[in-house]
Structure 1
Amino acid sequence: MGGDKTLASVNFANVSKTYDGKTSVVDELNLDVREGEFLSMLGPSGSGKTTCLMMLAGFETATSGEIFLDGRPINRVAPQRRNIGMVFQNYALFPHMTVAENLAFPLQVRNLSKADITSKVKKALEMVELPHLGNRRPAQLSGGQQQRVAVARALVFDPKLVLMDEPLGALDKQLREQMQYEIKRIHERLGVTIVYVTHDQAEALTMSDTIAVFNFGKIQQLAKPAEVYETPSNSFVAQFIGENNVLPGIVEERSGDLCKVRLENGDVLGALAVTSAPVGGATLLSLRPERIIVEPSAENRQHTTAQGEVVDQIYVGDHSRIQVRVFGRHEFVVKVQNASLRRTFDKGEAITLGWQVKDCRALDSASGYSQGHVQ
């Protein structure tokens, strides 16, 4: 996660934050954000992601370590002098000002001419597709329109860096998804660096160039969205992002990058050995529900098969969730696209499941979420 800070738009160098001198909310963080990158800080409440954003914005002070912006240390630079755009969940628009006046405010603070202000406000409104609403006040706008104005205000003064703290959390599902694509489109058009905080896994997967998965004040994995989802580096990432079948077991044999794991019910499964646990060590097997094939044909038989019993089948529009009793567990889930599902299954019916060995990943045995309340 290290790198040359002169080439990075943002660099956290051994940054820690504690409020009581004992517990680290952020623990020796090293993170580079490249110029023009869209990086999401993803994690549960208490994982340290929002504290990182607040330190970058200047609203919190690092206990130790240094934060650099374009190679320049900024720990002792006041927030208003960092030239960083900020978008909050609650929009933080001035209710007594019109939309145009809200956008003009950061430009007036920077002493731009009236002509420049008028021009930049007009361009910002066009960018978020609200050119006709400049004379309205925030209370006269929908939630989605207010969030567009908040985004425009963060970008109107041409910052090199924009920070977004759960900006879509107050919107309904459909509008939130629409705004995800709007923000992504604006980012691709402007090339501005964005650091985005969210606890929504789908949001991070949809929008980001890179995801930093946080837990207990540390980055658990830093990678592209597909890599974070498809090849989680540990059991926390596997369980936090997307749906996941987890099977505890003991490593019985290791051979190159593969291993064999004895489950709690005595069955032995082959898996990709992501864990460094030795023979006799504990592990958690991770298997995504969509990687499992129902009733694989003889000629397309996967490397691993298992016999189970159908507990339930639930129709979810584009796919069906089949809950199976297998390996002595009731909560094993299979996800099948309805277009490829040949038939429905009755409760109690025997079912054959199959998957490739490499899709079953043996991860570390530690799991669980941070339970703190400081974000």
Structure 2
Amino acid sequence: MEPFAQFKNVQKSYDGETLVVKDFNLDISPGEFVTLLGPSGSGKTTCLMMMAGFETPTHGEILLQGSPINSLPPHKRGIGMVFQNYALFPHMSIAENLAFPLEVRGLSKAETEEKVAKALSMVQLTGFEGRRPAQLSGGQQQRVALARALVFDPKLVLMDEPLGALDKNLREEMQLEIKHIHEQLNVPMIYVTHDQAEALTMSDRIAVFNDGVVQQLATPDVLYEAPENAFVAQFVGENNRFIGDVVSLDADRCQVKVNGDSVIDCLPVAVTENGNHSTLSIRPERVVINPDEGSFPNIFEAEVKDVIYLGDHLRTRVSVCGNGDFVVKTPNAGGNGALKRGQKVRVGWSLTDCRALDA
């Protein structure tokens, strides 16, 4: 299948010296929801703005449906855009805000009214046509901004941190709503966020950015379960870390000595030879407290530092192998024996859940 949109060897520099985006390559399939995820300043919004036409690549090519669009002005690209600050016209009614991109494109009044009604229905705002943006809540304004991006049947929809200003519950509700609209319309979407939970919830694939470079491009489950480097492991989801040196290595198993004398069995991911420095990554929910003897290759004595009750799960912080901030998450299934601060326990995890990554 031919990619719907492409970034080919794209670079961007604002001053001619420092590259904000370094050799970015990405193919987006028809109907795909791709998220650009990364910390502030990592280059993800710059990539979105280059696709929209508000920034020009310093090097490389951007294609839409096989045609280069580097020199095409934004209004001729057929792309819908949703901004974090909504960017609604305050002096216009909701219907007038939605009609504006249609009038610019020369649609008739009857066709404009039909498309506006359809877009408002899609975001569940039928009946709000006559109100001004200031008369709506933040969540309602964001729905209008989304409707305006969709009203002219764009080829592609771009969203730049669109839910950043909303509270947690509303943000989660809008995530599911955008996902539902995407499934309904099957229009490709590129979504920018620094919120990894949001990216995992909504995306078909996620490109994790850091310092202008894509660290890993994968589906949400692969990104979480199989991070390729220490940055991705730390940025996507919660993670326990050890730093150590590889003391033995074969194709599917390595041993890493951490904090002096503890040796941990791991899956070798980004280590190539004995003596390599390595960061070990272990997800908190993959750790078992007081496992049966011999049930895991990694079982160590630990001391409970604190236990936090979080409703659906318990978060236990222990000191193990020299790491005083090692976290264990256990589901709150009722009847959990309460651990006490200072209590001695054992913690265990499997070899495959402990990934030996770059230093």
- TM-score, length basis structure 2: 0.98
1:189 aligned to which of 184, 193, 199: 184
2:137 aligned to which of 131, 136, 142: 142
Q: Aligned runs of 1:89-168 on 2, under 5 Å? A: 89-168=84-163
Indicate whether 1:346 and 2:345 are aligned.
Answer: no
Partner residue of 1:199?
194
For structure 2, which runs of at least 5 residues remain unmatched after alignment?
none
SS in 2 for 1:290: helix
| Structure 1 residues 296 and 96, CA gap change in structure 2 (3 angstroms) | same
For 1:222, give the aligned amino acid.
L
Report the Cα offset of residue 96 of structure 1.
Answer: 0.7
Report the Cα offset of residue 308 of structure 1.
Answer: 0.3
For 2:296, give the aligned amino acid.
Q
In 2: Cα distance, 1:18 partner to 1:360 partner: 38
Report the Cα offset of residue 298 of structure 1.
Answer: 4.2
Indicate whether 1:47 and 2:42 are aligned.
Answer: yes
In 2: Cα distance, 1:39 partner to 1:73 partner: 20
Q: Aligned runs of 1:294-333 on 2, under 5 Å? A: 294-298=289-293, 301-333=295-327
1:172-219, CA deviations, whole angstroms, 9 ceiling, x for partnerless residues?
111001000000000000001000000000000000010000001111
Q: Aligned runs of 1:1-375 on 2, under 5 Å? A: 7-298=2-293, 301-339=295-333, 342-365=336-359
Report the Cα offset of residue 22 of structure 1.
Answer: 1.8
SS in 2 for 1:102: helix
Paired residue total: 359
SS in 2 for 1:357: coil
In 2: Cα distance, 1:69 partner to 1:356 partner: 45
SS in 1 for 2:47: helix
In 1: Cα distance, 2:260 partner to 2:118 partner: 64
In 1: Cα distance, 2:111 partner to 2:13 partner: 43
In 2: Cα distance, 1:235 partner to 1:352 partner: 26
Report the Cα offset of residue 342 of structure 1.
Answer: 2.7
Report the Cα offset of residue 296 of structure 1.
Answer: 1.4
Identity of counterpart residues, as a percentage?
A: 59
For 2:23, give the aligned amino acid.
E
Report the Cα offset of residue 276 of structure 1.
Answer: 3.1
For 2:251, give the aligned amino acid.
G
SS in 2 for 1:8: coil
For 1:303, give the aligned amino acid.
P
Conserved 8 A contact 1:277-1:364: no
Conserved 8 A contact 2:38-2:194: yes
In 1: Cα distance, 2:165 partner to 2:252 partner: 44
For CA contacts below 8 A with separation 6 or more, give which structure has more relative contact order: 1
In 1: Cα distance, 2:275 partner to 2:168 partner: 46
Conserved 8 A contact 1:233-1:274: yes
Report the Cα offset of residue 340 of structure 1.
Answer: 6.3
